[in-house]
Structure 1
Amino acid sequence: MILLLLGTFTVCILLRFPIAFCLGLSCLAYLLVEGTPLIVIPMKMYSGIDVFVLLSIPGFILAGNLMNHGGLTQHIITFCNHLVGHVRGGLALANVAASMLFAGISGTAISDTASIGSVMIPAMKREGYDADFACAVTAASSTVGPIIPPSVSMIIAATLTGLSVGKLFLAGALPGLLLGLSLMGVTYYISRKRNYPKLERSNLRQIGRSFVDTFWSLLMTVIILYGIIGGLFTPTEASIIAVLYALIIGVFVYRKLSLRRAMVVFLDSMKTSAALMVLIGFANLFGYILITEQLPQLVSGQILGFSSNPYVVLLLINLLLIFVGTFMETIAALLILFPILLQVALAVSIDPIHFAVIALLNLMIGLTTPPLGVCLFVAAGIGKVSIGAVSRAGFPFLLVSLLVLALVTLIPDLSLWLPRLFMD
């Protein structure tokens, strides 16, 4: 019967159904053939979303949207331009830097690609950058988002397995910084090689003024992280504080968020959050069926039967997750695979926090891996170039991302040093 479930899911994926529908239809087919009472569908869906920490997800989604429409994101981009715009390829470097700073609030790679890309890709094209390069930089830098805290994906990973959200946030800081700086290195090298333009150097007064303007945007991340890690409030409470903060700054400080625009932002955020909660509910039902069919034990037995060496196990898991990440949205992949693969990792004594960071990195890299990486399609749509051109331009960034993944996999302290320092 497990073949019916997975077969239906695969067919729906190939037919380009939304991932939530793929999960729901495959579960329905299984339950009907098995003769299981359909009351199990709402029961398992509700139990999947009836988790307090999941309330933080709509909050962080709304906070990110309020930042976009309230001017906070634009101030971050302007500040990054003042800092690195005078370097060869400075606008491209500012693109990566803005993603690193903005990522702390949005927490999702696709929203980062869309929001930063809608501003930076047209600007880079006007300044003389190749369109495919502009799209590739934007897509690649967006993968930093769910690694640098706070991150929606990390909250979901913690919810699924009972891990500490605070520890996961800390664990992602150094790998996220390493990934961002590595992407900036590749960007600078290509920019020098192609002689891309640079902006006029900003003086200290301009940088200082831009920092003052951006201060309110940056302070938001500091408040959230300090509050969660310091135990002042939970992730759910932090998301509400982030919403109130973004609303106040957008309305009263930057004065770009009108009541009419705020209502549009709230409506869009509600739609996104509702779709995500449906996805989580169906994924919980899907997971329940997988457990009933004992698929986790089967997968674990197959991997451990091949090798019990932790590094070999991690290599196999890395290959699997990158492959899955190329065609499946990150959160859906986490919901389906993370609990199963975590049990495999624990069986060979891999730290669960370390493994969570590795899993997230894999899935992020999958979003920019041809031919189906979602962020590549989003960036290509904004830049109006072919997916093939963006894929070719993004190849150096993909190589560097894989190198960072290898370092994080082989050096656990890159993930574990900060959690041990502050929370053990």
Structure 2
Amino acid sequence: MDHAIETHDGIVEPGLARRTSGLGFLMRPLEAISALLIVALIGLVCVNVFCRYVLGRPIVAGDEIASFMFLWIVMLGAVIAIDRNEHLRLAILVNRAPPKLKSFMEATGLVIIGTFLAALLPSALEHTYFEKDITAPALDISMAWRIAGIPLGIALMLVVLAAKFLRETTTSDMVKSLAVVAAVVLAMWLLTPAFAQLGKGNIVVLLVGVIAVCLALGVPIGFCFGSGTLAFLMFSTKLPLTVIVGRMDEGMSSLILLSVPIFVLLGCILDATGMGKAIVDVLGTMFGHVRAGMSYVMLGSLYLVSGISGSKVSDMATVAPALFPEMKRRGNKPAEMVALLGTGAIMADTVPPSIVLIVIGSVAGVSIAALFASGFIVAFFLLMILAIAARWKARHENMTGVARASWGMVGKALLIAAPALVLPFLVRGAVTEGVATATEVSAIAVLYAMITGMTLYGGISRRQIYSMLVETAAMTGAILIILGTASAAAWALTQTGFAGYLANAMQGLPGGWVVFMAVTIVVFLILGCLLEGLPAIVLLAPLMFPIAKTLAIDPVHYAMVVVVAMNIGLFLPPVGIGFYIACSIGKVQPDTAMRNIWFYLAALFIGLIAIALIPWISVGLI
């Protein structure tokens, strides 16, 4: 999941972080606690690695302690993300609305989030109370101490939301938004008997319908899924709302996901130290003199940098400033460069440590080591396709005055970049060879990057380190809240029998696995446009992967098709949010870039079809 902040002009930009609630007296302690928890989590993982592999005696309670800290990091991070406007949302309609309507839609979005959280808080407290008699086996303390992070986080989010609502909303919009949301809730309650007559139609009206309306209003994606699931359970079933809390807890707290905040922090360290730029520079000296050379450098840099940061936004923000000036000098148009930048980020998203691969491994029960090994190969295959496309596009490139770098310059750049180049191979080798888990490798990589960055790449100030820790907490909260509420929505779909209906429909399609793959590509292209990757995976992976298994499709092969299709959708104009992120980083108007990106998207789509039809590309070398 990538970190992007929406600006006043409707374009998303990475790395902007500011308090918006005015509650500095509350947020500063929360940020400090979150930063300390992340340091403690990384320290615990590193100590456990030492005890396991050096002393041969792992910490017995290590996983339980990590689980306790992780849930608190997620909930406090979600509070920080609300305060900083860092929850991912689909804001296309909001941004195109007239100023008065936009202001009303923003206010209504805040009221919807507040309504969801207020409705969930009593159930979260009840869930915590029920957990008080359950004892953690190794720690021998009540599990209520762990679960208490959920109601506390919800309560704090409500406080921050209220402050933002009062600070950012006019009196007129306050009254109108409160009245509209109250009227809709009342109408749903009055129509409860009618909903009972709809049967499975409630899925469309209450679950899908509410989610769609919330998305259109610019409500953050995580709260869209939560609101839809809440409406579905409240007005068409007799199930308690504690189900949502339980499913959120389950979706957010898998031990496999412990590596998410650590890899996020790794990306922040690389940005701060310039290790990513060092990789870009060495590739520039090696290939910059040939025709389309800078395009090759961009693709190669995205491939290698993605293998370190695991974030598309971080990748693009690292590569673009280093390469765009020289590419412009050679006659490349900015729109063309942005098109290659965005599609290169699509290509690189399967390179470990991809957070998407970690999540898909968690929810679909697929080996992360196998996914990481396959991801490298699939990304390299797509890199070759894009390189061919870029070479054709650069056939008229102006090479006047372009000189080959001397061997001395190449050697110097290699020497500088060598410590950074070690990282992607460290991550891949350790996970795919089974030396350590993804979480353990992520912690080792952070420690390595921190020491290397501070000693060889100019250092990092204490203020920068603290800022990165807080940023990591906010991004983790924003990512995991989506996973939690999407898990609740997926459970609701399963309980209605939708999963069985979908399985029967898919298995009844003529054409066997080939047609199923075609349907998969279409579904994830569309969902990639609308929902971004993680919620789409959490919603459909538990439904689609068992069907793929019955059709004898290798789960790693199927995962590669899903991820690539979803990422193409993420950058597919005019809806895909990734496309607008690339335009923002490259400082190009979306309308201009849109005409150029289709050529590269078509090349990637050809690659996707090849990956879908030729399993060997995904699994032949692992």
TM-score normalised according to structure 1 size: 0.94
Q: Which amino acid aligns with 1:201?
A: R
Please say if 1:16 is aligned against 2:218: yes
Aligned with 1:149: secondary structure?
coil
What does residue 2 of structure 1 align with?
Answer: 203
What does residue 270 of structure 1 align with?
Answer: 473
Please say if 1:202 is aligned against 2:405: yes
Q: How big is each residue's C-alpha offset from its partner over 1:275-325, in whole Å with a ceiling of 9 and x where there is no partner?
A: 111111111111111111121212222222232511111111111111211
Q: How does 1:123-134 map to 2 (within 5 A)?
A: 124-125=327-328, 128-134=331-337
What does residue 422 of structure 1 align with?
Answer: none
Aligned with 1:394: secondary structure?
helix
Is the CA contact (8 Å cut-off) linking 1:85 and 1:198 kept in structure 2? Answer: no
Q: Which of 1 and 2 has higher RCO (CA within 8 Å, sep 6+)?
A: 1
Q: CA deviation at 1:59?
A: 0.8
Unaligned runs of at least 5 residues, structure 1: 420-424
Change beyond 3 A, Cα 1:154–1:198? farther
Deviates more, 1:186-195 or 1:153-162: 186-195
Change beyond 3 A, Cα 1:275–1:116? same
Q: How big is each residue's C-alpha offset from its partner over 1:390-415, in whole Å with a ceiling of 9 and x where there is no partner?
A: 12111111111011111111110111
Q: CA deviation at 1:368?
A: 1.9
Is the CA contact (8 Å cut-off) linking 1:186 and 1:397 kept in structure 2? Answer: yes
Q: Which amino acid aligns with 1:19?
A: I
Is the CA contact (8 Å cut-off) linking 2:529 and 2:575 kept in structure 1? Answer: yes
Aligned with 1:306: secondary structure?
coil
Alpha-carbon distance in structure 2 between the residues aligned to 1:108 and 1:196: 32
Change beyond 3 A, Cα 1:293–1:226? same
Structure 2 residue aligned with 1:241, among 425, 428, 444? 444
Is the CA contact (8 Å cut-off) linking 2:524 and 2:566 kept in structure 1? Answer: yes
Q: CA deviation at 1:194?
A: 4.7
Deviates more, 1:42-51 or 1:54-63: 42-51
What does residue 227 of structure 2 align with?
Answer: 25
Is the CA contact (8 Å cut-off) linking 2:273 and 2:454 kept in structure 1? Answer: yes
Alpha-carbon distance in structure 1 between the residues aligned to 2:393 and 2:611: 25
Identity of aligned residues (%): 28
Q: CA deviation at 1:197?
A: 6.6
Is the CA contact (8 Å cut-off) linking 2:309 and 2:315 kept in structure 1? Answer: yes
Q: How does 1:138-177 map to 2 (within 5 A)?
A: 138-177=341-380
Structure 1 residue aligned with 2:455, among 252, 261, 266? 252
Aligned with 1:326: secondary structure?
helix
Q: How big is each residue's C-alpha offset from its partner over 1:351-406, in whole Å with a ceiling of 9 and x where there is no partner?
A: 11110111011111112211112221011112332212212111111111011111
Is the CA contact (8 Å cut-off) linking 1:87 and 1:198 kept in structure 2? Answer: no
Q: CA deviation at 1:123?
A: 5.3
Q: How does 1:244-323 map to 2 (within 5 A)?
A: 244-307=447-510, 309-323=512-526
Q: How does 1:186-201 map to 2 (within 5 A)?
A: 186-195=389-398, 199-201=402-404
Please say if 1:361 is aligned against 2:564: yes
Q: Which amino acid aligns with 1:172?
A: G
Is the CA contact (8 Å cut-off) linking 1:354 and 1:415 kept in structure 2? Answer: yes
Structure 2 residue aligned with 1:68, among 271, 274, 292? 271
Please say if 1:114 is aligned against 2:317: yes
Is the CA contact (8 Å cut-off) linking 1:108 and 1:145 kept in structure 2? Answer: no
Q: Which amino acid aligns with 2:265?
A: L
What does residue 225 of structure 1 align with?
Answer: 428
Aligned with 2:508: secondary structure?
helix
Structure 1 residue aligned with 2:544, among 341, 347, 351? 341
Structure 1 residue aligned with 2:246, among 10, 31, 43? 43
Is the CA contact (8 Å cut-off) linking 1:144 and 1:179 kept in structure 2? Answer: yes
Q: Which amino acid aligns with 2:333?
A: D
Is the CA contact (8 Å cut-off) linking 1:174 and 1:414 kept in structure 2? Answer: yes
Unaligned runs of at least 5 residues, structure 2: 1-201
Matched residue pairs, number?
419
Structure 1 residue aligned with 2:593, among 390, 399, 405? 390
Change beyond 3 A, Cα 1:30–1:254? same
Q: CA deviation at 1:127?
A: 5.4
Is the CA contact (8 Å cut-off) linking 1:90 and 1:198 kept in structure 2? Answer: no
Q: How does 1:85-124 map to 2 (within 5 A)?
A: 85-121=288-324, 124=327
Point out the structure with max Rg over C-alpha. 2
Alpha-carbon distance in structure 1 between the residues aligned to 2:511 and 2:551: 6
Change beyond 3 A, Cα 1:146–1:388? same
Alpha-carbon distance in structure 1 between the residues aligned to 2:488 and 2:313: 25
Q: CA deviation at 1:77?
A: 0.9
Alpha-carbon distance in structure 1 between the residues aligned to 2:321 and 2:498: 42
Is the CA contact (8 Å cut-off) linking 1:62 and 1:243 kept in structure 2? Answer: yes
Q: CA deviation at 1:119?
A: 4.0
Aligned with 1:379: secondary structure?
helix
CA RMSD of aligned residues (A): 1.7
TM-score normalised according to structure 2 size: 0.65
Alpha-carbon distance in structure 1 between the residues aligned to 2:265 and 2:330: 32
Alpha-carbon distance in structure 2 between the residues aligned to 1:340 and 1:88: 46
Is the CA contact (8 Å cut-off) linking 1:171 and 1:416 kept in structure 2? Answer: yes
Alpha-carbon distance in structure 1 between the residues aligned to 2:561 and 2:485: 25
Change beyond 3 A, Cα 1:413–1:156? same
Q: Which amino acid aligns with 1:323?
A: I
Aligned with 2:620: secondary structure?
helix
